[in-house]
Structure 1
């Protein structure tokens, strides 16, 4: 699967690109793009602008133009003016899909065979994109493009020193970046980063992250065009939607409550019928059986149904809100006369998520960071049902709704079955795509998107970048499908692997091997599907085609050896090793600062000590000394009413320790010490100037991490860890009265 310049002369003429196959920037230095390219080296005026819109955890059927009842007029407008692809494949989970998309290479080949924090000794699981695989931003910037990223990154490994930002967006080819580095964030109180700096989220009433990144994206484009009107741009727009937490303004949620009382079985059947009616899927497609871990809607209790309806309404409202915000970006491109020659690619990084498990959760971090706990019971969810979808919920829906999102396929995200791999794909380019509104059936992989962009912009991938020899681009251009509905698929074979699960597609046949963690890989059973006749992979035909299955297994091994998939490992997302504390280390801070989750000190399942030197000028001086996490889980040391307080927020269950003595005016030294007495449990002790003034038992600490929020020194940005000062905003401790704060991990 080699990259090649496949675009036809006719398509070049349609797009108005002059000498696109030999851009001046690449001619100047064809073997190594390490040297800066002068903005005057390239004639930009006819090269298309590029926008990637990468949605998160959006299933194959979630957009209106893919069969959904959810109102997505702006995505549907792009589909009507462009093309939909019904056989688009991802890597079934966030980081590998993003790495494959941005590099045009297989995820294992570039070192991202699992999530970025799942780092092992295997060459394909290094947790970061190899420097031997330049990103599309690096390649396009070298050929004269302005490059911007807004939204989720999730391609920088946890556990590295905070100063190591080699894998952050601006170090991987983007001129400017605004968003969050990790895997998910609170949409109302996000962890925000501009370029390489953590900033506090706005305190504006009605703030929402998606609205913010649209504003920032418009600003990026407008600023670039103001400076260099003829220079094309590349925007990587990756909202948190629709990854949990599902959060949206109330008006977007309320409208969907009556709709979802039908339940997931009926909604799924309606989407399936609609997909056939609009020609998205073949007429003979079979709807796969309801996933075995989902109960029939009619068997649920009235309370379970009520909660489930609210969860799905929050999901639908979040998606419609995202669509409305995308509409603002599209309207700007129209006003700026940029839309006609802008290629917009809409996709999702994997299928819908089962991470809300059976009943859904109002606090996803409860499960993700705590292996020892179960989700809230329905009775508890009912007490706070109106919070679901608001800033008081970090919610994810029951997996019954994920089954709906993945219609007509089976299984979910993190599976190499169709429900994990398949996602919607829309390509819009008004100047060049004329068969608008059509559906393309070609097998397309996420590694094919960037080669397509390199193709139509006339940007050959470099053999060397910044002095590092480059891996060949492994995807292939789908540009021929823009004008020819019968153009061949860009590849005949594609492997898949995730956490020991294996699959391969070969000329319409697909073989899948599920894997049980800890079992021998040789014992795994393979299934076989003939997708030439069975679009949804509904019927296992392995028993009747043993020779075909054996051939596919051999091909899988060949591909695995070629793209550094081996050795096989079944390390999953939930591995405490990757969140472990670094013993014997002291972290010192001398000014108020906010740290992202990946660079914050890790104190999980270990003894640790927080100390702070302060110099209060009066009894009224108060505020946060150190806060880690948010209202969904974390810990905070703060001063209020002249008393020292420590609170551990155990996912809503709170343990507080308050000093028995007041903090004196003037200089003093405050401390909190956690002494571990057993796995994830211990004793917390407060002291003022070396004297113990409070003590309490901490019955359970998180098994992996506190939450997905970072650590703040001298304030608490985002949603508050403690409700005790929630009305005080970030509750900052006066910086001129706060000295050194340190955390020592024992």
Structure 2
């Protein structure tokens, strides 16, 4: 038996201190240790996956590993989220409502109010901040999207990145979406590049699983008895829907009957599984979605393939999640791992009515060409695509509910939730119908493992948890629901659940078609006069016991119940910092926010530095600008990239190839505009290589055209090439960052990345000149792509 004496850190020293060690006895501050047998905790968070898409929730996508977890535990048929990405993730990790954490919507649209500022308060501690002091490791994999976008560069500050919020290791991406073939990766607090190329077999879903397995094994071999908490947030199934062809081909023909038939089939499966009562109705046809039978043969063929690609994407992610489950089983930890699987919101309609081969066109207001999309049908999901399915599949993916992501009907807020803990519960493969919300996940974990919510974290007093534990439902199907009331709000779209009733006040309307008849669209502001009218006539009422799919509005039959629910919504809004109610979008976009650095018009980059996130790169759209590289050309010449941003879905590259200086501008993957120097312009020695762009006209942003302009190349001040660009990208290149000295991702030009420069680059400077011409509505479309 050890003679080691330990005492609580900060407590009174129990040993003895004499004049010498011969007269003294030692003691040690005790390390944090979890209780014997404490379970591991694993959150697997899916992105934009609807209630009716996973196999174990009646969906037609094969998810054998998620189904495996469901068979070992429970499916919660009545789990809810906030209807949007960042807000739900804030709820999952803090156990508080999203407005309570300042995350009313995505981080990029923060405004200066406590419920909206995107600066998650430290008095709302995250689960890793609670578990690490209790003796746990804490690992974060995949999507973060919980730090202000202004702080997501290598300059920080880092206190709201994963390692600043209690996680010990992080491998993933900080923003709302990333290219699955060429992701913007961060390791702990440092940007990094993917370890392989797509040609070498790289895909983010596989990489995340590799890293998750490595983190688990590294910890296990060194401290086998130490439990871990892992937050594993896959990029799947957020757009771009990227997956290798062989995975999509598994679904050949499976969706040829279309989204209407999909809904009918899935509803029947959900009833058979006990997820819905036998008399549940399918929610009404959405007027924004065309009937499958009215589409042409080519439309049906294209849209079916889009869904095949999405399904392959999800199945591929499930496969690699299964590798982590296999690892846990191999080391004897699977049964004693409390696993929770959830999606952050309903299926996404951001592909629009027709879907897209390159969603950057949609975000730049470039009209989609059905013919062009059809011509790329065999490229969907591959490294040259940036695709999203048609919104009919989002509607179908949320079966049996109405609507989708960003709206607070149940299609946006009711999501699949799977929970299993074989060592801690006896139930297997059952369904639970108790009302639940993402804020209940943290209280459930703490209750199950016997850890009390801390009163302070790093000296900061903590607010009470706002969710409730689901632990009482583990082995008792009939336990009364503890979560009785829950408000919802997203861009002014409101709803509230209370004791079996649900009231909804849709904004700008119950669907886009109806809203347009009133002259409203997404982002229309809610004025005091409009709000008064909405509270008087805009609320709908549904009785969940009889109508779980919100198909029959009974507001006229129960006016007092509706009035009570509306009053309760306002009380909850005041309590949880939902006010001031804000239905706008453009106004949020234009909000001035605190910045890490002062405004500037000159940006200087050096080779070997980290990739600069796309939203921190110089905004070269619709303005005059120059790029100047200070280089040394060795004997025999040089080639390679000087500066590049974006990729084959849109971007630019300033590079040297075949003895010529080149600038290639990729307009949303549709057109390539290029200017090149003549032979002999580049000689051995020191040179200033310069590209200048001078606008020659006005933009036509509503039609997807940025300013036309004159492109010019200079070597040591001498003009060596010129060309006219008829138009440019109005708003946003592909969401890859900027790199100096090489091209880290998908290439905008015709070379094989990274195509590193073989000479010496001293620096590359980007200077912005001229007045910026902007369009708030277009900007908004881009930012919403990141949720």
TM normalised by structure 1 equals: 0.91
Determine the C-alpha separation between the residues in 1 that align with 2:461 and 2:644. Answer: 44
Q: Are 1:731 and 2:755 an aligned pair?
A: yes
- CA displacement 1:267-305 (0-9 Å, x = unmatched): 210110111112111111110122111111110001100
Q: Is the CA contact (8 Å cut-off) linking 2:9 and 2:30 kept in structure 1?
A: no
Q: State the alpha-carbon separation in 1 of the partners of residues 39 and 728 from structure 2.
A: 52
Bigger Cα displacement from structure 2, 526-535 vs 597-606: 597-606
Alignment of 1:236-275 (within 5 A): 236-275=231-270
When Rg is computed on C-alpha atoms for both structures, the one with the higher figure is 2
> Which deviations, in whole Å up to 9, do the C-alpha atoms of 1:454-500 show, x marking residues without a partner?
22222222232223232221111111111211222232111111111
1:590 corresponds to which residue?
Answer: 606
Q: Is the 2:137–2:168 Cα contact (8 Å) retained in structure 1?
A: yes
* Of 633, 648, 665, the match for 1:648: 665
State the match for 1:171 in structure 2: 164
Q: CA deviation at 1:39?
A: 7.1
| Matches of 1:346 and 1:75, distance apart in 2 | 8
| Cα distance in 1 for residues equivalent to 2:685 and 2:210 | 45
Deviation at 1:404, TM superposition (A): 1.3
Query: Could you tell me how far apart the structure 2 residues matched to 1:483 and 1:281 are?
Result: 20
Question: Mapping of 1:669-680 within 5 angstroms?
Answer: 669-676=688-695, 677-679=697-699, 680=706
The answer as to 2:107 corresponding to 1:100 is: no
List alignment gaps of at least 5 residues for structure 2: 1-6, 13-27, 509-523, 700-705, 770-787
Return the alpha-carbon distance in structure 2 between the equivalents of residues 697 and 555 of structure 1: 61
**1:496 to 1:383, Cα distance in 2 relative to 1, 3 A:** same
Confirm or deny: 8 A CA contact 2:525 2:584 kept in the other structure. Answer: no
Correspondences of 1:378-397 after superposition (within 5 Å): 378-397=370-389
Q: For 2:563, which of 531, 537, 550 is the aligned residue?
A: 550
Instruction: Provide the aligned length of Structure 1 versus Structure 2.
Output: 709
Per-residue deviation, 1:347: 0.5
Residue 175 of structure 1 deviates from its aligned partner by 0.8
CA contact (8 A) 2:110 2:588 kept: no
**Partner SS for 1:414:** coil
Deviation at 1:620, TM superposition (A): 3.3
Change (3 A) 1:119 1:315: same
After superposition, the C-alpha distances for 1:356-407 in whole angstroms (9 at most, x for unaligned) are 1111101122223x2x323x22211111110012122111111111111100
1:405 aligns with 2:397: yes
Gaps of 5+ in 1: 1-23, 30-36
**What is the distance in 2 between the residues matched to 1:222 and 1:294?**
47
CA distance in 1, matches of 2:124, 2:72: 33
The equivalent of 1:663 in structure 2 is: 682
- Identify the residue that residue 118 of structure 2 maps to in structure 1: 127
Aligned to 2:745: 718
Preserved CA contact (<8 Å) 1:45 1:231: no
The structural deviation recorded for 1:575 is 6.6
Counterpart pick for 2:532 among 498, 512, 522: 522
Q: Which piece of structure 1 moves more, 108-117 or 573-582? A: 573-582
Residues 93-135 of structure 1 show CA distances to partners (whole Å, capped at 9, x for unaligned) of 1111111111111111111101010111222111232222111
CA displacement 1:636-686 (0-9 Å, x = unmatched): 111112222112211112221222462222100112233345343142332
Q: Is the 8 A contact 1:51 1:235 kept in 2?
A: yes
Q: Deviations over 1:12-55 (max 9, x none)?
A: xxxxxxxxxxxx989979xxxxxxx9773324441110000000
Q: How does 1:592-611 map to 2 (within 5 A)?
A: 592-593=608-609, 594-611=611-628
C-alpha contact (below 8 Å) 1:182/1:597 kept by paired residues: no
Whether contact under 8 Å (1:611, 1:669) holds in the other structure is yes
Q: 1:637 aligns with which of 635, 654, 657?
A: 654
Q: Which residue of 2 aligns with 1:17?
A: none
Of residues 450-459 and 109-118 in structure 1, the stretch that sits farther from structure 2 once superposed is 450-459
Q: Is the 8 A contact 1:619 1:642 kept in 2?
A: no
Shift of 1:603: 3.0
1:419 matched to 2:429? The reply is no
For residue 77 of structure 1, report the CA deviation from its aligned partner: 1.1
1:454 to 438, 446, 458: 446
- 1:681 aligns to 2:707 (yes or no): yes
Q: Alpha-carbon deviation of 1:226? A: 1.8
Give how far 1:699 is off: 4.3
Match of 2:349 in 1: 354
Q: Which moved more, 1:527-536 or 1:332-341?
A: 527-536
Determine the C-alpha separation between the residues in 2 that align with 1:28 and 1:674.
66
CA distance in 2, matches of 1:410, 1:77: 28
Cα root mean square deviation, aligned: 2.2
Residues in 2 aligned to 1:433 and 1:703: alpha-carbon distance in whole angstroms: 56
The match for 1:468 is 460
Structure-1 residue corresponding to 2:511: none
